[in-house]
Amino acid sequence: MGRFITRRLLQQIPILIGVSILVFSIIQLAPGDPLASYTQDPNMTKETLEALKEAHGLNKSPVLQYIDYVKNALQGNFGFSFQLKQPVEKLIAERLWPTFYIAFGSLIISIIIAIPIGVISATKQYSVFDYAGTVFALAGISIPAFFLALLLKKWLAIDLRLFPLSGIETPGAMYTGFARMMDYLRHTFIPLIVLGLTGAGGLMRYTRSSMLEVVRQDYIRTARAKGLKERVVIYKHALRNALIPVITLLGFTLPTLFSGAVITEIMFALPGMGKLQHQAVMQRDYPVLMGTNLFLAIFTLLGNLLADISYALVDPRIRLD
Amino acid sequence: MIKEKGQINENQEENLATSSKVESPWTIVGRRLRKNKLAMIGLVVITILSLAAIFAPFITGIPRDITNLANTNAPPSSEHLLGTDSLGRDMLTRLAYGGRISLTVGFVSTSLRILIGVILGGIAGYYGKGIDNVIMRIADIFSCLPFLPIAITFVAVLGPSIYNIMIVLAILGWPGIARIVRAEILSLREREFMEAATALGIGDFKKIVSHLIPNTMASIIVSATTGIASAILTESALSFLGLGVAPPTPTWGNMMYDAQSQYVLKNRWWQWVPPGIIIFLAVISLNLLGDGLRDALDPRLKQ
């Protein structure tokens, strides 16, 4: 197992280099340079601007700039935001946990909704429950997350006044402990539900079809034939095997959630990576854009890796290849 | 195999024709698809939406961008069936025109994606070894890019235009198609009809284009249908955030831009609910059609 993980980790390195080159190239396509905002500053002389450019290596060729960037990044230095006047790694570190919280929170909601419904749908194939579940899953896949967010915001936050409209906590309330946690939960309830519901659709369909495949296997017939209770057959013998592919899917869902969180973070003014990214786009803050994209790409890689490893953990056959 | 029919002598061919009517695979697929009610509903809805987009000028007869500052934010009435927006433009008219952009973005970006995916996946699958390795590692890299953030960055850097959106959707989406095509070609390559093709001295290019790719069409069509759906979702989300297609060109997504304001959200449902429902309808229809096509093309997968 250790060898498997090491090999997988090593395989991610060239991919990570490729991803960083791609992201760097996209940012390089931008007109102007990170110092563009300074050119409007009347106190900024041409000489200072040149000196700043020199100091940040902006006069070098893109290839050399990339090498510089990697060298610095390896030392934990991801550049400097000229708009926010702060180092990029600090900005990202501050915004990391709201994004993680939203991504993992909504993943848990998706799992709680999707897996039981998927399993029951499969065991009662073609029943009313199955039909309703299938429609629900399809609707979850098809509804634009931002539209669902608008609907819930209008209904739960504006009409019923059950939840706050935006933000991650009540400003100035200074709650501590449990009260603070509940405050967070109240503020993020709608975004969590939105991402949880839209994510549940795919997961539910996947669980259902995986379960349907497993219950047709010979060993399930054997389990039934030896007189096991249906409950034991389904939840002990079938479910375990049906969940193997579902676990892989979860690993792949995580990155989607990180990037999907962008929409909800912007709509609900949650101070996460997505919001930071949006701000950077609006202010043309290229060092920040480079940093957020790179970090989100690393999360994607880690998500895939996690999927691989968990797959190998639950299914020993995988480790052989 | 069907292609070689011409080489069977005429006598035999006549016998074949009289003994049993040979149906082409596509006729069979069409018949199976027609039996699937949900898929047919999807097909009908998406056809209606496309027709409304094509014939947009005739839906209300009101010009798309004509502003009327005396009649802004008007609720639905007999004159403006879905009310007007903040500049007094007719919502229904803009919804129909918006369909042109949203559906075109979905269709064109998916076609581009398939083009790149089929070419690279085809080459990787057919030649294998080193080329395969290089192409598939590049595919790995592209599929590790975080989708929405990169799309937002790309559009922000190059400017919000319909072309940039199509390009970024294609660039981010091709690895999925390439993997499907590659996997299928890897197995098709070893089949007897390919051996026959080699024996006949057919060149690589022709082998890939006229013998291998057509056999992967079924999977490509299925993933194209659902691909259009997700392209529409992405475009609408980007445009809704003001990071997609720029106004005054209407798309279903950017028409909802105003709903980011709490006031509009609370008081003017007609400015955001109809476009949202239309996006939902378009996407769910394409997904239903995609599911139906998958079942029709490969009944073994049907559950």
Domain that holds residue A259: 88-314
- Chain B residues with CB within 8 Å of chain A CB: 137-138, 140-142, 144-150, 152-154, 156-158, 229, 233, 236-237, 240-241, 243, 253, 256, 259-260, 262, 265-266, 269, 272, 276, 279-280, 283-284, 287-288, 291, 303
Cβ-nearest to B146 among A139, A147, A255? A255
Per-residue pLDDT of chain B (303 residues; tens, 9 = 90+): 444 444 444 445 445 545 566 778 788 888 888 888 889 999 999 999 999 999 988 888 788 888 888 888 888 888 888 888 888 888 999 999 999 999 999 999 999 999 999 999 999 999 988 999 999 999 999 988 888 889 988 888 888 888 999 999 999 999 999 999 999 998 888 888 888 888 898 888 888 888 888 888 888 988 899 999 999 999 999 999 888 888 888 999 999 998 888 888 888 999 999 999 999 999 999 999 998 998 888 766 554
> Interhelix angle for A128-142 vs A177-215, to 10°?
120
**Do the chains contact at B141 and A19, CB–CB below 8 Å?**
yes
Question: In Å, what is the CA distance from A61 to each residue of A28, A67, A68, A180, B68?
Answer: 11, 10, 11, 49, 52
Residue A107 lies in a domain: yes
Nearest Cα residue in chain A from B288: A138
All residues of chain B having their beta carbon less than 8 Å from the beta carbon of residue A18 are 137-138, 140-141
Cβ-nearest to A144 among B154, B266, B276? B276
ipTM here: 0.87
Residue B87 lies in a domain: no
How much is the pLDDT for A39?
64
Cβ-nearest to A262 among B145, B152, B256? B152
Could you give phi then psi for residue B190, rounded to 5 degrees? Answer: -85, -5
Helix (H) or strand (E) holding A5: helix A2-28
- Quote the tokens at residue A37: 């905002």
**Do the chains contact at B147 and A256, CB–CB below 8 Å?**
yes
Question: In Å, what is the CA distance from A89 to each residue of A211, A270, A294, B150?
Answer: 44, 19, 11, 19
Residue A47 lies in a domain: no
Segment A226-232 mean pLDDT: 89
b/e map of A166-192 (b: 16 or more CB within 10 Å)?
Answer: eebbeeeeeeeeeeeeebbeebbbbbb
The CATH number linked to A152 is: 1.10.3720.10
- Quote the tokens at residue B249: 């060109």
Nearest Cα residue in chain B from A298: B144
Residue B249 lies in a domain: yes
Residue B280 lies in a domain: yes
Nearest Cα residue in chain B from A130: B303
Residue B13 lies in a domain: no
Which residues share a beta bridge with A87?
A80
Residue B88 lies in a domain: no
Residue A261 lies in a domain: yes
Question: In Å, what is the CA distance from B39 to each residue of A159, B174, B280?
Answer: 36, 26, 16
Distance CA B92, CA B94 (A): 5
**What is the tens place of the pLDDT at every residue in B234-279?**
999 999 988 888 888 899 999 999 888 888 888 899 999 999 999 9
The CATH number linked to B140 is: 1.10.3720.10
Residue B84 lies in a domain: no
Residue A185 lies in a domain: yes
**The pTM is what?**
0.88
Residue B128 lies in a domain: yes
At A125, which amino acid appears?
Answer: Q
Domain that holds residue B244: 35-63+93-297
The total domain count for chain A is: 1
How much is the pLDDT for A318?
66
Closest CA to B132 of B142, B141, B123, B144: B123
The total domain count for chain B is: 1
Residue A299 lies in a domain: yes
